[in-house]
Amino acid sequence: MNQSNLAGRRVLVTGGTGFLGSFVVEGLRARGVTDIATPRSGDYDLVDRAACRRLLADTKPDLVLHLAARVGGIGANRENPGRFLFDNAMMGLHLLEESRLAGIAKVVAVGTICAYPKFAPIPFREDDLWNGYPEETNAPYGIAKKLLLVQSQAYRDQYGMNSVVLFPVNLYGPRDNFDLQTSHVIPAMIRKCVVAREQGRAEVSLWGDGSPTREFLYAEDAAEGILLASERYDSSDPVNLGSGEEIAIRDLAALIAQATRFTGRFVWDPSQPNGQPRRRLDVTRAKERFGFTARTSFPEGVRKTVAYFEEQHRKGQL
């Protein structure tokens, strides 16, 4: 078991039963943490301030890891801009305020790559977060999560509150959301390719024109970054979490086709949005300040994600 200053702490993980949260909880247990609260939204609606207050009173945490979010891919963002803005903003505002009032020792909150300006210089550096408006299809979500950073810095300045805000790039991996209505690009492509292969179809339709680039971070690696920041980082300066490598969506499709054994062709639909033109992070700060470096290579991570989906699909669970 790793020696960790988190051992013996009482930790609250919002979103702890979700995709990223499940890996964070496993990482906490590996560090010797035994008192972990993972509330469900049906029991505590974090959009409601009174529910946040009740949650903290019931769990009495020393450390809060705020991972809960109302989130989805381009389609879900386009269909729910108001809900994504309101719910994510209120969750962060209420949870940090109630954590301050409850005297919580430390809060680590997770923002989003969508907070960056649409045309931020490549690679995205934390200092560029305010140099423009986010890409339009996910701006309401991105701005709501960026509010966490403003709140963290304001509360540190006025109240001396110890809170950290991390900005992970697009996550992927086993346990991801593979629902085509709400999923992100990697799980959506995997599902489409596997189903097309099974049905003997010769082509798969994909959104956009394949030209944008994206950077991806394996969810288990992202969880490790969050835990390292929990152990070693005490500043409200924003920190990127990523791999520092980008891939064009067209090349991503080819990689997933190979991993899923889909031998047909892709038909691109340029009437659908591409999203942000490019995404690649400068990951220097995370390495320098708390020693985080992504460990899982992208081809290896894609293989593991495909294997997970195919196993669940065979069982009829996906």
Residues identified as active-site: 141
Q: What residues are paired with 20 via a beta bridge?
A: none
User: What H or E segment, with its residue span, contains residue 223?
Assistant: helix 219-232
- By DSSP bridging, strand 239-241 and strand 163-168 are parallel
Distance CA 168, CA 166 (A): 6
Would you say how long the chain is, in residues? 318
Distance CA 187, CA 304 (A): 12
Q: Which of 26, 14, 289 is nearest to 173 (CA)?
A: 26
Angle among Cα 5, 10, 13 to the nearest 5 degrees reads 100
Q: What residues are paired with 95 via a beta bridge?
A: none
Helix (H, G, I), strand (E, B) or coil at 12: strand
What are the tokens at 162? 């110890």
- For 148-172, the DSSP string reads HHHHHHHHHHHH---EEEEEE-EEE
Distance CA 113, CA 215 (A): 10
* CA distance to 122, 214, 260, 269, 295, per residue, from 248 (Å): 14, 6, 18, 16, 21
Q: Which residue is associated with the tokens 């299809």? A: 137
The answer to whether the beta carbons of residues 204 and 193 sit under 8 Å apart is yes
Q: What residues are paired with 216 via a beta bridge?
A: 170
